[in-house]
């Protein structure tokens, strides 16, 4: 049949599930990843995930200062799990805000402003000087190890580009056969205090996902089955897409859970017991142009 197919999905965000997981598990798991924090010499601030955060407690028992000399930065890594009990950083609202911002970027593969982690590993492009706009012309040959954009991130799964064979034009051409033309629209009640955001107390909010395909099986369904929901994609083990992938119910915890691996230079940081962040509430496949429109043309 000649024409275009429209795929629609009603995706509800599970914001409270994320907040519950972060409070119960997320902060503790992130506190086990050395290398993500650095102390600023002579200051009461810590560089957490690339952003400066004030310490929440006593800073007198700070770790030793870095040796002076050429090439020694003023901000340096240290073994912070042993230091955390003294400063109570995890309890800091500033740390929580930064950690959530960083974690969401790792899950999506992009910062909230749309700039990619591949090109902007440590901070959003909109905060850089000169300012960088949202980008999409990168390849994963620029980040073959996943240190910037994790191997299981939504962006890398939904469009792997040249992940398997970095720099391969043939791999890019093969991947492009499965691409879709997509658009998303948020829904939900507007925050009465900020018309540009959704009401945080409204549970019924999320995204209406729509995409156009010439061939649903080769495009949308292939992306869903082979890339987003593949538990062993890119050498991972028992992981699905962190955003749209369904977890496995764990009766001991009371929700469906999944894992997510963040590659680092000191070894992988594996986040566990992540809840389903999105629930599919409905959707459908539609043929374009519609039969009503075809009848109109024929009349």
Tens digits of per-residue pLDDT, 75-126? 333 344 444 444 455 556 777 788 888 899 999 999 999 999 999 988 899 9
Residue 108 half-sphere exposure toward CB, CA atoms < 13 A: 15
Q: Are 107 and 154 in contact (CB under 8 A)?
A: yes
List pLDDT tens digits, range 231-281. Answer: 999 999 999 999 999 999 988 887 889 999 999 887 888 999 999 999 999
Residue bearing the bigger pLDDT, 20 or 90: 20
Of the chain, the percentage scoring pLDDT greater than 90 comes to 53
Of the pLDDT bands very low, low, confident and very high (cuts 50, 70, 90), residue 74 is very low
Statement: residue 182 has pLDDT above 80? yes
Of the chain, the percentage scoring pLDDT greater than 70 comes to 78
Query: Which among 5, 32, 12 is positioned nearest to 208, based on CA atoms?
Result: 12
- Average pLDDT on 196-220 reads 91
Query: Which among 55, 49, 67 is positioned nearest to 105, based on CA atoms?
Result: 49
Residue bearing the bigger pLDDT, 71 or 150: 150
Residue with tokens 């400066």: 52
pLDDT for 194: 87
Q: Are 238 and 9 in contact (CB under 8 A)?
A: no
User: What whole-number distance in Å separates Cα of residue 293 and Cα of residue 295?
Assistant: 5
pLDDT for 85: 42
């Amino acid at each position: 049949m000649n024409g275009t197919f429209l795929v629609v999905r009603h995706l509800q965000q599970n914001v409270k599930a994320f907040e519950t997981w972060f409070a119960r598990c997320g902060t503790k798991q992130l506190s086990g990843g050395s290398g993500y924090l650095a102390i600023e010499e002579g200051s009461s601030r810590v560089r957490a995930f690339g952003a400066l955060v004030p310490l929440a407690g006593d800073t007198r028992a700070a770790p030793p200062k870095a040796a002076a000399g050429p090439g020694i930065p003023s901000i340096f890594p240290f073994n912070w799990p042993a230091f955390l009990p003294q400063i109570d950083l995890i309890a800091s609202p500033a740390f929580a805000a930064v950690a959530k911002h960083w974690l969401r970027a790792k899950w999506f593969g992009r910062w909230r402003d749309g700039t990619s982690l591949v090109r902007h590993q440590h901070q959003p492009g909109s905060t850089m000087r000169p300012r960088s706009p949202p980008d999409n012309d990168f390849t994963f040959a620029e980040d073959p190890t996943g240190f910037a954009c994790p191997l299981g991130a939504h962006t890398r799964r939904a469009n792997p580009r040249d992940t398997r064979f970095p720099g391969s034009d043939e791999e890019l051409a093969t991947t492009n056969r499965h691409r879709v033309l997509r658009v998303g629209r948020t829904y939900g009640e507007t925050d009465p205090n900020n018309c540009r955001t959704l009401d945080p107390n409204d549970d019924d909010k999320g995204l209406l996902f729509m995409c156009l395909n010439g061939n649903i099986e080769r495009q949308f369904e292939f992306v869903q089955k082979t890339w987003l929901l593949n538990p062993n994609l890119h050498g991972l083990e028992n992981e699905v897409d962190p955003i749209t992938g369904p977890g496995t119910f764990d009766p001991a915890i009371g929700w469906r859970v999944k894992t997510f691996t963040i590659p680092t230079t000191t070894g992988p940081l594996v986040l566990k017991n992540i809840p389903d962040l999105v629930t599919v509430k409905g959707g459908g496949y539609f043929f374009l142009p519609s039969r009503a429109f075809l009848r109109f043309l024929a009349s």
